[in-house]
Structure 1
Amino acid sequence: MGRRLFTIGHSNHSPTRLLELLGAAGIEVVADVRSRPYSRRVEHARKTQLCMLLASAGIRYWFVGDRLGGMPDDRSLWTDGSPDYQLMRERETYRAAIAEVVAELETGATMSLMCAEENPTRCHRRLLLGPDFEAVGVEIVHLRGSGKRVGNSMCEPQLSLFGG
């Protein structure tokens, strides 16, 4: 795979730590894939504050959560009370947003998708977006809070020792 796309969860990282993690990967563009770019607990993760924080480090902010978010407002994209990723994948707006991110990568930009969840195992970055980017030849690398970088396939949930 020639193209690489990072992902990160802002979690409860301090502004300094978030910028350290992004900087260590050379991130130039953050594509926000949160359906609602707001956090009650993490003030610097609110859209306006995040734009300013990233700009202070020379990182461009791009909101795509309206098309690539994991919790769509459109209730027709939900089944049995949960987001239906297959229905989401069928939407032209979703496919177009995937293509736009790929086009941005092809300009040579170093980019990270950003959501709230630090652990990608439980996040739509791994469950929904990762496989779809990999299907078009993009390598997915998750930036963990520890500084570790993990491939999408390495994030599979650990099986329980007792029959999980």
Structure 2
Amino acid sequence: MATIYTIGHSTRGADELIDLLREHGVTRLVDVRRFPTSRRHPHFSRDPLAAALEGVGIDYAHEGDLGGYRTPRQDSPNTAWRARGFQAYADHMETEGFRAALERLEEAAERAPTAIMCAEAVPWRCHRQLIADALVARGHRVIH
């Protein structure tokens, strides 16, 4: 089983993010934002980020099917979630799109040291935590 890191880009500079990835031996970054852009931090938009990572030997992949910003199902079985966004993401986790994307992430992590990235700095306030929980349940080690 793989060790998978999670990171939120937050207000960091690109160099700081890259330094953290390199410090932990990460050679593949999987962007789990549904929309891989940032107006406030344009260096974290898909193309500039991919170029910066490529320049230091880190592969970039966008996995939109693992992205957040979902809408809860009308018949949602996940009504215990107080945060509507987490309820919506829990619903999304039951879809074939999520399962297939999670399998692609697992396969990538078996081949190369991998981190998943979103914008939120704090993992427990981000859907990365739910992805991490799914990975741990499948036997992987996750480090935030």
TM-score range, shorter chain: 0.7 to 0.9
Which of the residues 90, 93, 99 maps onto 1:89?
93
Tell me the amino acid that sits aligned with residue 70 of structure 1: G
Which position in structure 2 is the counterpart of 1:21? 20
Which of the residues 123, 134, 138 maps onto 2:136?
134
Larger Rg: 1
- Structure 1 residue 60 and structure 2 residue 59: aligned? yes
- Report 1:14-53 matches (<5 A): 14-53=13-52
Tell me the amino acid that sits aligned with residue 120 of structure 1: P
Which position in structure 2 is the counterpart of 1:111? 114
Structure-2 separation of matches of 1:91 and 1:132: 13
Deviation of the 1:88 alpha carbon:
0.7
Report the number of matched residues: 136
SS at match of 1:67: helix
Structure-2 separation of matches of 1:11 and 1:93: 27
Q: TM-score, normalising length from structure 2?
A: 0.87
Partner deviation per Cα, 1:26-82 (whole Å, 9 max, x = no partner):
111000000110111111101111111111111110000x2101113xx46487993
Deviation of the 1:102 alpha carbon:
0.9
Deviation of the 1:104 alpha carbon:
1.4
Task: Give unpaired runs (5+ residues) of structure 2.
Answer: none
Partner deviation per Cα, 1:120-162 (whole Å, 9 max, x = no partner):
1211111x201101111111101xxxxxxxxxxxxxxxxxxxx
Tell me the amino acid that sits aligned with residue 124 of structure 1: H
Tell me the amino acid that sits aligned with residue 88 of structure 1: H
Structure-2 separation of matches of 1:13 and 1:77: 34
Spell out structure 1 runs of 4+ moving beyond 2 A.
Answer: 75-83
Q: TM-score, normalising length from structure 1?
A: 0.77
Structure with greater proportional strand content:
1
Which of the residues 58, 68, 71 maps onto 1:70?
68
Task: Give unpaired runs (5+ residues) of structure 1.
Answer: 143-164
Tell me the amino acid that sits aligned with residue 67 of structure 1: D
Structure-2 separation of matches of 1:119 and 1:89: 20
Which position in structure 2 is the counterpart of 1:124? 127
Structure-2 separation of matches of 1:40 and 1:14: 14
Identity %: 34
Structure-2 separation of matches of 1:141 and 1:77: 30
